[in-house]
Structure formats: C-alpha cells, structure tokens
Amino acid sequence: MKKSDFQMKIAITLLSFIILSGLLAPWLAPYDPNEIHMAVRLQGPSKEYLFGTDALGRDMLSRILYGGRASILLALIATTLSMTLGMIIGVCAGYFTGVCDIVLTVVTQIFQGIPGTCLMIAIAGILGPGMNHLLLALVVTSWAGFSRIVRTETLRIREQPYMEGLRALGAGTSTLLLKHLIPNMLPNVVVLFTTRVGRSVLSIASLSYLGLGLQPPHPDWSVMISDARLHYRSAPHLIIVPGLCMFTLLFAINLLGDALRDRMDVREEEVKEW
Amino acid sequence: MQDKAKILEAKNITKIFQNGFGKKSICSLKNVDITLNEGEILGLMGPSGCGKSTLARILLRLLPTDSGEVLWKGEAITKKCGHQLLAFQRGVQFIPQRPESSFDPRLRLGKSVVEPLSFFKESWSEKNRKRLQVLLTQLSISEELLGRYPHQVSGGEIQRLALCRALLLQPEVLILDESTSMLDVSVQAQMIQILADLQEKHHLSYLFITHDRELANYFCNRIIVMEKGEILKKGILQN
Amino acid sequence: MKHYLLQKLFSLFLVLFGISLAAFVLGILTPGNPAELALSKGGYSPTPEQIKEIEIEMGLDVPYPVQYVKWLNRVLHGDLGTSYASSRPVRQELIERIPITLKLGSCAMVVTCINGILIGCIAAAFRGKGIDKIVQLGINISLSLPAFWFALLLILFFSESLGWLPTSGNGGIRFLIMPTTVLALPASATAARLMRSSLLAEFGKPYYLAAIARGTNRFEQIIKNALPNAIVPVIALMGNTLGGLLGGSVIVETIFALPGIGSYAIEAIYGRDYPALQGYVLVTGCVYVLVSLLVDGISLLLDPKVRVGRRRL
Amino acid sequence: MVGKSLFIEELSVDFMISTGKVRAVDGVSVVFESGKITGLIGESGCGKSVLGMAILDLLPAYATLNGKIDWGEQSLNEYSIRKRKLLGREIGLIPQSPSESLNPSRKVKAHLNEALRPLGLKRQERYKKAEKLLRDFGFNEPKRILKAYPHELSGGMQQRVLCAIGTACSPEWIIADEPTKGLDSELCKQVQQTLQSLRIQGIKSMLVITHDLQLAEDLCDTIAVMYGGQIVEMGDVLHHPLHPYTKAFLDALPKNGLHPISQINKGVEQYSKGCCFAARCLKSRPRCFQEKPPYKGDKMHWVRCFDAG
C-alpha cells in the first residue's frame, strides 16, 4: 500500500509544519501582528517585511503565522463536540430500536432538513459575531450528519453474527456497546472526523469572511482576505498569500483523510479463498 | 436410553415473523415441543428456512417467543431476567454456523476466548489458566493461534476456538447451529471427533442442527425432523 | 412501494414542522425587543407605554406556544411579516429574489451532475493509471479551495487581467459563468469521488465478473452493468448537494453582487432585519426538504426491488 | 467435428497481498479432453476456482499468472484481446452464487441480449432465440421470465437462467464454478439435472469445479483431485482412489466413518518443494519433500505420487 503511505507522509509533514508555525508564532513572528505603521502601508515583500504589509501597515508574515491558530483550534473543538454528540445520539438510535430510534431519527432529520450554511449564518447573524456563537452554530449544524452515519454503522455492526454470539454468551449491553460496537466503528469515524474538520475550517473561513465569525482586529486568514478585498487591484498578494496558507491546510487535511480511508479498506483485498 | 433428567425443554413454542420489508422468508414456528435429555446428542434436521435456527435462538433466549415457554432443568425461564438467568446463560452455549464472523475482528483471538469469564464476574485466576491449557490441548489449538486476528486463521481453527470459548464457561448444553456445514469434509471429520470425546469428558448434551442426513445418522442419538415450522416425526432414529 | 412513500411523507411533515419551529425560535432569540425596534426606527425614542401598546398589538404578551400558533397561521397564509429595513412584506422581496438563486442553483446542479458522473466513471475505468491519479489530485484540490478565495482569484484573473467576464451584475450567461464554477467545483468533486468509489465497489461484485464472462466489451461492462447500480448513491448525494449549493450561494451572491436570496440574507443580518432572516430560513429549509424528498423518491425508483415490489414469480 | 481440448502446462498463479506473495496454483500440468465432463474437486483453499478463473483470464488485478494454457492450438494467455471473442462464444462460464451473479437492476432480457450479441442476430431473432433458450431450461412461460428482475426469481430459477446465459451461443466448452455451493439438497438435484441437460443443448465438453462429491460422482466422466494448488490425481478417483490424499479425503466422508486426516505434524515446513501432501501423508518419505513426484499411470487414470499407482 505504497500510495497511501506516501500520501500520509506528505499530509503529516504539511500539517505539522502549519500547526508548529501556528503554535510557535509568538516566538517566530518578527513584529506584533496588530501593531499599525501607517507609514509603510501596502508595501510589497521587502527585507524588513518578508511578506510585505497590509492596508494598515501591519506585518503580513506575523499575521500569517498567527492566522491559522484560531480557525484550526475552533474547527477541532467544534468537530469533536459535534462528533461526540452525534455518536451518542447515533449509537442510541441505532442500538435501541423502537420508540427511541424513531424519536432520535426524526430529530436528526429536522436538524438535517435545514441547509447547514444557511442555518449557521442565521444563528451567527442573530446571536451576533464571536467565538462561542460561531462554535454553537458549527455544532448545531454538523452533529446531525455525524449521528446519521454513526446510526447506519451501529445498525450494520449490531447485525454482525459475532455480536449475537456475544449476547448468547451473556454479555451485558454496556460491554457490547463499549468494548465491541464502538471499537469496530472507530476506523470509519476517524476518517469521518478528518473530513469534517476540513469542512469546519471551510465554514469558519466563510463565516469570518462574511464578518460573522472572527472579528477584524484578530489576525485570521479569512479576515485578512476580506479586509484586502478593497485593495485587490493594487496589492493582490494580500489576497493570494493568506488564501494559499488556508489552501495548504485544507489540502493536507483532505490528503490525511484519503490516506486514512485507503488504510482502512486494505483488508478487503485479502485473497478470500486462501 | 433410560429416562434421564430433562435438561432443556421448549413447550408449544409459536413464533410468527411479520412479512416486513426486511424479512424474506416467513418462517413461523407452530407449537413446537422439544426436549433435550442430559448427556444426549439430539439432531435437528430440516430444509433451510424451516425454522431450525429460529428455534435455536429462542432456546438461547436471543429471540422472544409469541407463546409457549422454555424450561431449564424443569423451571420456566421465559419470564425471568437479570441474575436468575446467570446459571442458564452459563449453562447453555451456542456455536454459530459462519466461522469467519463468530469473533470480533478487532480483538486478538486470545482476548476474545477469555473475555466471557468477565461477563460472569470471574477473575482470570490461576485455576482458569490451567483449564484453558487443558482445553487447548484437547482441541489441538496451538498457543500461537491465540495471538492472531480472526481473519488470519482458517475456518476449522475458528470453530475450534469458538468451542474453547464456550467450554471455558463449563456449560452443560451446547447448541450447534450447522457448525460444521461450512467446513471442508476432512476438517468436519476432525470437528465431529473432537465434539464426540468432549461429550464424554465434560458429559455435555448437544442440540446438533444440520441439513446433512448422513452426518446426523452417524453422530446423533435421536433425530427430530422439522418442516415449515412444525416437527414431523419425533425421534425417527434411536441408535 | 406504498410503505416507503408513507414513511417519507410522515418524516417530511415532521421536518417542515421542525423548520418552522427553528425559524420561530430564531425570531425569539433576537436580542432587543421587536416592538421597541419597530418604534425606534428613525431615531425616535418611544415611551414604555407606547412599547406596551405595540407589544399587545403585535401579540407579544401571550405565552410563546400561542404566539407560535398565531405566527404559523400567518405564515401559512403567506404573510412572512414585514422587513424592518424596507418595511415591504418579506414575501414580496423573497419572490423577487428567488429566480436568480434558482437559476444559479440549477446551473450549478447540472454542471455538478455532468462533471461528477463523467469524471467519476473515467477515474474508475482507468483505475490505478495516470488519469486516475490526476483526477484524485484534482478532487483533493477542488475540495480544499475555499469558495470565497477561489471566487476572488477568478475575478482577479478573468475580469481584471483578461477582462473576459464581468465581475458583478445580473444579465445573460456571461454573468453566471464564474459564480456557477465556484459553486459547482466542490459539489462535483464530492460527486466524482463517490461515483468512483461506488463504481469500484460494483467492479468487485460477482455479477460484474459474470458480465465479463459473457464476452461484453469494456464499455458495456462499465456503463451498462456497473453504472445502473453505482449511480443510485450518487443520485441520493445530489439531494444534500443542493443544501451545499443553497449555502454556497450566500457567499457567491455577495462576492458577485447577484441579488439572490443569499445576498438578501446577508443584508438582513447586517441590517438586523430579523423577519427577513426568518423568512430566508423558512424558504431555504422548505425548498431544500422538498427537493431532497424528490431526489430520495427518484433514487428509490431506480432500485427495482422497490419499484417492482417483492412478488415472486 | 472433434472439439478442442484444454492443454495446461506448468501453470502457476501468485497473489500479491499485503503479507507478501501467496501461490494459489503451483505448476499444474493437465489436459481436459473435449467431449468429456471433467470434475475438479478439492477442499476450499486448494486453488480449484483460481485454476478455473485463470483459464478464463478473469483473475483479479493483483494476481500474476505464468505458464501456458492452450485451447486446441490457440494459446489463451497471450492474446487476451482475441480471447474476449472466445469468452461467451466458445468458452462459457456458469458463475458461482446464482443470487449474486445476476445484475440486480437489469431484466433477464438484458442479460440474454448481451450474451447473444456475438451471434449477430437482429433484435427480433435474438428475442426468439432467448425465448427458446429459456424454454429448453424448463421455463414454461419465458415471456414473463424475460421481463422479470433477478430478485423476483427463486434460487433454482436464477441458476437455470445463468445456465441459459452461459450456453447462449452454444459454446464448445462450459466452465461451471461451484454450481451447488450454499444450496440445500433439493436445489442441488435441480442443478444436477440442468447441468446434465446441457449435453442435449449440444455442449460437448464441460469443466465442473465443485466440493460436492455427490454432484461429481453423478455428473462427471472423469474427476481431478486438487490439493495445495496441485492436481494430485485424475481419473475414476471416487471408486478406486490411488493417491493417499484422495483415500484420506474419501474416508473423512460421513458415510465412510468420518476418519479425520492427520494434522500437520510439527516441525515440518508446510509448503515443501516436493509433493504438496508430504507434510500430512502417513507414508511420506524424505524423498517426497525434495522432488516433485512423477506422473504415473495412463491417460485414463494418472497419479502423482512416488509409491502409489
């Protein structure tokens, strides 16, 4: 399985590079990201300012370094929260059939009925911008997708003969759920988690671009792009550079997701007869 | 066969499957009576889809019955639940038909075999370890197999490991739902021989479900034939 | 077949009920008192008594469930309230703006279907070869492109330096090319990836081996045998792709200044115009649910077991 | 006219899987004569299906094949494009599990249309030929069957439709891969009758891959026994077996007393260079492990063992 290992290596190197540069930003950044020097506004890359300066003369390099932190962190937290919520509801709906299943499925359908981005915009818009409103919007819109997929996985595993065998051996529901059902579901859930983190980063970026997520003084890639909209004719690099960073981050996450998915299906190709 | 103590009984069991989208064959049981005496190998034969496996699942209390009851050593247990059932659950064990999916694919076989002890709150004492060693030699399973995963082991070995897992709980009844029909002829022969000498050593009683007439004649003391959810002729063959 | 439809209709009713509930709750959550806001437009500071009067008039003093029923009754009669900003009925404004979003959405949907299925088939047919790797790389890239950044890049490249396409405004096809590409790119990437993996899954199935043994050529094997089974999940995916398109249209319409319901929602947010936002959520929710039901119905019809039922010859 | 026989020389098939290379077929040389029904029996994992698929060049992507397969004079494994013309027209396949070998979302008519295309008939004639085919296989109202979807047919019907598809262009050779796997006793009898009726349809030579000895005994003129990727014996093996494995295999049957074959004795490398059964053979001598046993016996009944035959 050389292909997936190769992909895995690139993805991990890219991701660690971005995350490290984000974490070490305070020491790496030459200037304070929010310090304004109106004198040197809109300069191209030069010796002092490696990536040039933006409309308010702030150093682009340090803003780029700080730029990734907020969205990655927020995306991870949001996805973990919505995954846990989704798993709890999905497993309950899948394992305990009957009324519990019907009620939970209907609730999931309601939340899935409303298009994700529109609901997110509505929530962020009404509650006003800010980190925790953004977090709430992200979790409310994405847990339904998780719970639907987890429910189908639970139904699939519950019907496996070895689960029936264990039940015949006298295993209690908790052991069946915790020690057998969930570990068997983990590989698919991990793949789902990686793709969902990627999607959350995208949603955060779009909301911040519309001014509903992270607010201007905060150095974030999408906020930088939205600020630079007015000057895109004169200083295009203000748009291109932060965009490229975001693209690399998303590309690495997607690559990681693909590599994990290939890794999971490896066993299927074993020779059945032998 | 003098009248031995009845160990497992089922009295006029009826079970109707609604023809929901999921269920292809409507396989219902119409007031089935079955008694398994101690130390007996009872064969249960019939075409596929006649209700053999459903009856087995009802006896194991994996499926609720519409009416009728299951008796364990004379006491009705259909209504009971929780810890009164512990003796029953430990006493009756089940060996499934499909070898490749009777173990959790994510766990090493050694762990899966030992795990049921924890279901009955039994610690992994020295006594149990010795008992496991004895069983491994009886079932001719090499120690190294316990370290492997289910997909790295052949069908015959998996069935023997399933037997080992069941026998570790010192059961009194084994319900074998076509446990050897998926195996090759030579492996089946070996499995039957092992089942035979296990029966003497641990004086177990078997409910042996199969659709292979010759195998049933050879192996079972008494054979019951089922057809579309009903028992045709009780005890046609007494050898 | 009847069983499926009944189940679908029941869940449709519940989901629509849920959407109306969500829209209503969003209305309640809005900060500030609607009556006060309505009065204090134009810098006039209303006295508490006047606010009380307006509240009774707007029916805000009764408990929430009763308010909900009254609100639902008004909504069902088509009255989505009046927008604070333009004080015109929200229904009117939405009706003016929906055609543009629908035009954009349907173009993007068509492009997604064609691209998704075509590229998916090509990638699966040449599995492991060069084309397959290029397609997979392309899918990864198009899924990692943030929509607004990609749109700005397109404008920079095509409008500014090359000057081929207009940056904004609403007119003929030329105005729709860039917005549709931005919307359709991620959607067709997801569709192509699902198409490829579901086709590869079909290649492994015994009936495909039997098809090869019948002496069929490669085209017949893939298109006539594998595709009819592999396309069902892709069609089902089209259902929630529409959700993505509706969401994406918000960004695309703001960047390309297309007066659709997406940009209407953004204006409503900036202008704190809550009835408009409520109307937006209701409309998008209902459109999305109805279309997904339609798509689910189609994907069910494709499966002969459902279409023909279970009778045994 | 005399049919073309299948000549196979030193054929071996390796599968590249994650844990390295696995040899499923190990240097098989055999002649399947035309005009005869040859049975290929063996336990699961002995490589009989792989051999069948290798002949039809239907091996999965991660399999590598070397050695020669000749059909009459034409060699099968070099010109795979030309073989596409042979598949279906000259050599037909009756696939393994009937319920999964029919395309669930296409009608029986579509399957038969595809199978009959090589004959180059016009649409109307093809429809009539399809009807005649189904009638030959015991369907009394073929029109309804043609319009039906696979899930509407019972197990037996699906099997007969598959036979009809396999013999659509009345090919010379038919390879039936485990036709009775997973079917209960009545269905097995039905399959047996269908396969026997193939002879009347003008199918002269057939290779039946199965682990069901009953089917092999009633249907086949000659039977080859396979173990560990090699053919150890071929001929009238069921009535007077020569090879130690065949003898042990037959003793393990319930009707002969269920005597199990001895386990692999410890300390002996399982896949020896010499005879594949050496590790479990009671009469194995050191020589059995070094050299490949010679072919003994005549064309009608030969065996590969040092002291048998």
CB of B33 within 8 Å of a chain D CB? The answer is no
| DSSP-derived pairing of the beta strands B67-72 and B6-15 | antiparallel
Mean pLDDT, chain D, integer: 82
Radius of gyration, alpha carbons of chain A:
23
Q: Tens digits of per-residue pLDDT, A41-81?
A: 777 777 777 777 777 778 888 888 888 888 888 899 999 99
Is B186's CB within 8 Å of D184's CB?
Answer: no
pLDDT at C124: 92
Helix-helix angle A182-209:A237-265, to 10 degrees: 170
Q: Are D152 and C311 in contact (CB under 8 A)?
A: yes
Last residue in a domain, options D207, D228, D249: D228
Distances (CA, A) of C28 to C32, C52, C285: 10, 17, 18
Phi, psi of C33 (to 5 degrees): -95, 125
| Structural domain contains residue D101 | yes
Domain that holds residue D120: 6-228
Instruction: Let me know if residue D118 belongs to a domain.
Output: yes
Residues D245 and D224 in one domain: no
State the Cα–Cα distance between residues B27 and B54, nearest whole angstrom. 8
**Final residue before a domain boundary, out of D169, D196, D228:** D228
Q: What is the pLDDT of residue B2?
A: 43
Does D44 share its domain with D153? yes
Please tell me whether residue C70 adopts helix, strand or coil conformation. helix
Chain D residues touching residue A270 (CB < 8 angstroms): 17-18
Mutation for A interface: D14, D22, D23, D48, most A CBs within 10 A: D22
**Rounded CA gap, A63 and A207, in Å?**
19
D145, closest residue in chain C (CA to CA): C313
Q: Kindly determine whether residue D49 and residue A273, on different chains, have CB atoms separated by under 8 Å.
A: yes
The total of other beta-carbon atoms located within 10 Å of residue C88's CB is: 12
Same domain as D82, residue D14: yes
Answer yes or no: do D85 and C213 touch at CB < 8 A: no
**Of residues D94 and C167, which shows the higher confidence score?**
D94
* pLDDT tens, position by position, D158-184: 888 988 888 888 888 889 988 887 677
What residue type is B64 in one-letter code?
P
- Please give the pLDDT value at position A81: 94
| pLDDT by 10s per residue, chain D, length 309 | 467 888 888 888 888 876 677 888 888 888 888 888 899 988 877 888 888 888 888 888 788 888 888 888 777 776 565 566 777 788 888 888 888 889 988 999 999 988 888 888 888 998 998 998 888 888 888 888 899 888 888 878 888 898 888 888 888 888 998 888 767 777 788 888 888 888 777 777 889 998 888 888 888 889 998 888 888 888 888 888 888 888 888 887 777 777 777 665 544 455 567 777 777 777 777 777 778 888 888 878 888 887 765
- Domain A3-24+60-271: state its class: mainly alpha
The number of C-alpha atoms within 13 Å of B239 and in the hemisphere containing its C-beta is: 8
| Contact B154/D at CB under 8 A | yes
Degrees, nearest 5: CA angle B117-B122-B126: 95
Per-residue pLDDT of chain A (274 residues; tens, 9 = 90+): 466 788 888 889 999 998 888 888 888 877 777 778 777 777 777 777 777 777 777 888 888 888 888 888 889 999 999 999 999 999 998 888 788 888 888 888 878 777 777 788 888 777 777 788 888 888 988 898 888 888 888 888 888 888 888 888 878 888 888 888 888 888 888 888 998 899 899 888 888 888 887 777 778 888 888 888 888 777 788 888 889 999 999 999 999 988 888 777 644 433 333 2
Kindly state whether residue D309 falls inside one of the protein's structural domains: no
Does residue C295 register a pLDDT over 90? no
C308 in contact with D at a CB cutoff of 8 Å?
Answer: yes
Residue D147 touches partner C, C-beta closer than 8 Å: no
Q: For residue C261, give every residue at least 6 positions away whose Cβ sits within 8 Å of its Cβ, in sequence order, or none.
A: C94, C97, C98, C101, C249, C280, C283, C284
Plot region of B206 (φ>0 → left; ψ -120 to 50 → alpha; else → beta)? beta
Give the DSSP H or E segment for A112: helix A99-113
Q: Are residues D137 and D68 in the same domain?
A: yes
Contact present, D277 and D227 (Cβ < 8 Å)? yes
Q: For a pLDDT cut of 70, what percent of chain B falls above it?
A: 88
Quick check: B168 pLDDT over 80?
Answer: yes
Q: How far away is chain D from the Cα of A185, in angstroms, using its nearest Cα? A: 23
- The angle subtended at Cα A26 by Cα A25 and Cα A28, nearest 5°, is 60
- Does the pLDDT of residue C110 top 90, yes or no? yes
Chain B partners within 8 Å of A267 (Cβ): 151
DSSP C193-251: HHHHHHHHHHHTSHHHHHHHHTT--HHIIIIIIIHHHHHHHHHHHHHHHHHHHHHHHHH
CA distance linking residue C179 with residue D273, whole number of Å: 68
Contact D64, D87 (CB under 8 A): no
Token readout for D9 is 């020389």
Q: Please state, rounded to an integer, the average pLDDT across all residues of chain B.
A: 80
**Helices A60-95 and A237-265, axial angle in degrees (round to 10):** 30
Distance of CA D161 to the CA centre of its chain: 19
Residue type, B92: V
Same domain, D144 and D268: no
The pLDDT of residue A248 is 92
List the Cα angle D160/D165/D169 in 5-degree steps: 130
| B116 in A contact zone (CB under 8 Å) | yes
* CATH number for the domain that contains residue D21: 3.40.50.300
Q: Which of B220, B192, B186 is nearest to D252 (CA)?
A: B186
Among D249, D258, D281, the strongest candidate for a mutation testing the B interface, having the largest count of B CBs within 10 A, is D258
Residue D221 lies in a domain: yes
Does residue B187 contact residue D253 with C-beta atoms inside 8 Å?
A: no
HEC assignment per residue over D2-13? CCCCEEEEEEEE
Q: Say whether A270 and D24 touch across the interface (CB within 8 A).
A: no
Look up the ipTM and state it. 0.81
| Whole-structure pTM value | 0.84
DSSP letters spanning chain B = ---PPEEEEEEEEEE-----SS--S---EEEEEEEEETT-EEEEE--TTSSHHHHHHHHTTSS--SEEEEEETTEE-SS--GGGGHHHHHHEEEE-S-GGGSS-TTS-HHHHHHHHHHHTT----HHHHHHHHHHHHHTT--GGGGGS-GGGS-HHHHHHHHHHHHHTT--SEEEEESTTTTS-HHHHHHHHHHHHHHHHHTT-EEEEEES-HHHHHHH-SEEEEEETTEE-STT--B-
- Taking CA–CA distances from A140, the nearest residue in chain C reads C22
**Considering only CA atoms, which of A107, A176, A201 is closest in space to residue A148?**
A107
CA distance C228 to chain A (A): 23
Closest residue of A to B119, CA-based?
A: A171
Residues D199 and D259 placed together within one structural domain of the fold: no
Same domain for D215 and D259, yes or no, is no
Dihedral angle over CA of A16, A21, A22, A28, nearest 10: 160
Which of A161, A179, A270 is facing B151, going by the closest CB pair? A270
Q: Which chain D residues are closer than 8 Å to B211 by Cβ? A: 184-185
Q: Does A268 touch chain D (CB under 8 A)?
A: no
- The answer on D247 and D117 residing in a single domain is no
Tell me the C-alpha distance between A79 and A142, whole Å: 8
Residues A164, B96: C-beta atoms closer than 8 Å: yes
Q: Which chains touch B (3 or more CB pairs under 8 A)?
A: A, D
Nearest by CB to D87, from C213, C305, C311: name it: C213
Which residues 36-75 of chain C have a CB within 8 Å of chain A?
none
Mutate to test the interface with A, among C140, C141, C162, C200 (most CBs of A within 10 A): C140
Closest approach of B19 to chain D, Cα-based (Å): 16
Is residue D200 in some structural domain?
A: yes
CB C20 within 8 A of CB C282: yes
Decide if D89 contacts D4 (C-beta within 8 A): no
pLDDT given at position C157: 86
Give the pLDDT band of residue B27 (cuts 50, 70, 90): low
Domain boundaries, chain A: 3-24+60-271
Chain A residues inside the 8 Å CB shell of D18: 1, 266, 269-270
> Quick one: three-class SS letters along C104-153?
HHHHHHHHHHHHHHHHHHHHHHCCCCHHHHHHHHHHHHHHHCCHHHHHHH
- How many domains does chain D fold into? 2
Q: Does A183 touch chain C (CB under 8 A)?
A: no
Q: What is the pLDDT of residues B46-77, one digit of tens each?
A: 777 677 888 888 888 888 877 888 888 877 77
Whether D75 and D184 share a structural domain: yes
Residue B90 binned pLDDT confidence (cut-offs 50, 70, 90): confident
Burial of D242 (0-12, 13-18, 19+ CB in 10 A): buried
Asked whether residue D155 is domain-assigned, the answer is yes
> What share of chain A has pLDDT > 70, as a percent?
95
Burial of D135 from C-beta contacts in 10 A (0-12 / 13-18 / 19+): middle
B107-137 per-position pLDDT tens digit:
888 888 888 888 888 888 888 888 888 888 8
In the predicted model, is pLDDT for residue B22 greater than 60?
Answer: no
C313 band by pLDDT with thresholds 50, 70 and 90: low
Binding-face residues of D in 60-119 toward A, CB within 8 A: 62
Report whether B72 contacts B172 (CB < 8 A). no
Judge: C215–D154 Cβ closer than 8 Å, yes or no.
no
Contact (CB, 8 A) for A216 and A129: no
